[in-house]
């Protein structure tokens, strides 16, 4: 970051323009640069050369829904938000994640106001992955589809857009809002949120296909963890799931998160979603505080959760409440389940979330001029090192030593 040296990565394969090619990567000042201009205009050679030993270079992974990890819950310990974000931001570097949206589940207004103030966007580095802004998942959701969310904290848009301001306060740190579009006044709220540059996601909802299509026509462009916390697919009313192939809206503009951890979504469901609308699919972890921890009792917001047999449940129940699977493991499971190409597995983890947030010109690609955030992998998607703005922020070999 701020490093004016010209760095060359060679003996590597890279993902660019939807294909994997044999090509070098050049970086300066934290950005990917076009070597032709360097050679012919500046007549410079690399200051530093790094041998990748035949490995694959791909854009850094982007997780747009993660509730916490490594003992941290963004919705729970609200007096230690700065510290907690740092713990998660550092921990997910080992999973190839270079950017993320810290997610706050349905909570009381005082929680949002205190937490969101400290979840403001920040540039990543050795201290951890880049914070792209918060994903507020609730409290404007359906009580019938609350999942693990606290029923007593769920509210409606009784004051229209003013309800949003009363709950969250300042919106400047918010990147994504998940809401149920069947709530009264939802459409006017969606209009305003989109005009504020916030990505509106449909989720924790009992909406039918007509309401879902109406929400998209007003600017909603994302679906929160497809299949989970929504009406099941029905042949006469496919509900929100029907957005993937609707002929009343432009489905190509609809993105959807999916938890590919082998628990929340069956491999067959992954294949159906992927084959129906591959360009909209986004891998998310929906990870909770127990990510990276042993089995036992932890917290998700104000609720106790129990981890057993590699699954997380609301304590004393059989209700799933988030994942504990690392991001790169989700990508591996997705690739095995769908039998998609390596290119496609990498793009649902980087390019697609960047597009959903409207930041594809700076994140999610290796294009010239974009941020030099990338991960070095093998073909089985094992992470060897993670880089942000051209700096190595995680190395598997250093961790082992």
Q: Are strands 296-300 and 303-308 parallel, antiparallel or unpaired?
A: antiparallel
Catalogue the long-range contacts made by 265-272 (C-beta closer than 8 Å, 24 or more residues apart).
265/226, 265/227, 265/228, 267/337, 267/338, 269/227, 270/334, 270/337, 270/338, 271/337, 271/338
What proportions of the chain, in percent to the nearest 5, are helix, strand and coil? Answer: 30, 30, 40
Q: Are strands 7-10 and 48-51 parallel, antiparallel or unpaired?
A: parallel
Does a cis peptide bond (omega within 30 degrees of 0) precede residue 393? no
Alpha-carbon dihedral 260, 373, 292, 173, rounded to 10 degrees:
-90
What does the alpha-carbon distance between residue 86 and residue 161 come to, in Å, rounded to a whole number?
A: 32
The residue annotated as part of the active site, out of 286, 373, 379, 391, is 286
DSSP of 310-344: TEEEETTS--B--B---HHHHHHHHHHHH---HHH
Q: Please name the helix (run of DSSP H) or strand (run of DSSP E) that holds residue 86, with its range, or none.
A: helix 81-91
Under 8 Å between Cβ of 317 and 62: no
* Opening angle at CA 264, ends 394 and 132, nearest 5: 40
User: What residues does 32 pair with on adjacent strands?
Assistant: 27
Q: Is 286 a catalytic residue?
A: yes
* R_g of the chain computed on alpha carbons: 21
Could you give the maximum distance between any two Cα atoms of the chain, in Å? Answer: 67
Q: Active-site residue numbers?
A: 286
């Amino acid at each position: 970051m701020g490093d004016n040296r010209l760095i060359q990565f060679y003996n590597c394969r890279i993902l660019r323009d939807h294909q994997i090619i044999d090509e070098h990567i050049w970086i300066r000042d934290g950005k990917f640069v076009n070597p032709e201009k360097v050679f012919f205009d500046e007549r410079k050679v690399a200051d530093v050369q790094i041998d990748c030993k035949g490995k694959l270079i791909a854009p850094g992974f982007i997780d747009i829904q993660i509730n916490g990890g490594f003992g941290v819950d963004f919705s729970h310990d609200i007096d230690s938000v700065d510290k907690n974000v740092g713990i998660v931001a550092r921990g997910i570097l080992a999973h190839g994640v270079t950017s993320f949206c810290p997610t706050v589940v349905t909570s009381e207004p005082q929680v949002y106001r205190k937490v969101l103030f400290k979840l403001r966007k920040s540039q990543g580095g050795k201290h951890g992955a880049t914070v792209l802004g918060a994903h507020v998942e609730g409290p404007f959701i359906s009580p019938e589809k609350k999942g693990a969310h606290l029923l007593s904290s769920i509210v409606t848009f009784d004051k229209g857009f003013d309800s949003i301001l009363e709950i969250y306060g300042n919106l400047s740190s918010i990147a994504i809002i998940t809401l149920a579009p069947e709530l009264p006044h939802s459409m006017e709220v969606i209009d305003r949120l989109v005009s504020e540059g916030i990505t509106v996601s449909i989720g924790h909802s009992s909406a039918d296909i007509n309401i879902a299509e109406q929400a998209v026509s007003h600017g909603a462009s994302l679906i929160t963890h497809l299949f989970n916390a929504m009406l099941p697919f029905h042949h006469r009313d496919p509900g929100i799931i029907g957005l993937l192939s609707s002929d009343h809206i432009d489905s190509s503009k609809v993105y959807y998160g999916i938890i590919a951890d082998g628990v929340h979504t069956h491999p067959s469901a992954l294949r159906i979603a992927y084959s129906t609308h591959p360009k909209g699919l986004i891998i998310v972890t929906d990870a909770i505080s127990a990510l990276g921890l042993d089995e036992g009792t932890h917290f998700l917001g104000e609720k106790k959760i129990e981890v057993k047999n590699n699954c997380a449940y609301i304590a004393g129940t059989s209700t799933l409440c988030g994942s504990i699977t690392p991001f790169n493991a989700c990508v591996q499971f997705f690739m095995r389940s769908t039998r998609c190409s390596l290119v496609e597995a990498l793009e649902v983890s980087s390019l697609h979330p960047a597009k959903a947030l409207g930041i594809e010109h700076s994140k999610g690609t290796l294009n010239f001029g974009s941020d030099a955030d990338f991960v070095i992998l093998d073909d089985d998607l094992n992470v060897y090192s993670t880089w942000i703005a051209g700096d190595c922020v995680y190395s598997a070999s250093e961790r082992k030593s």
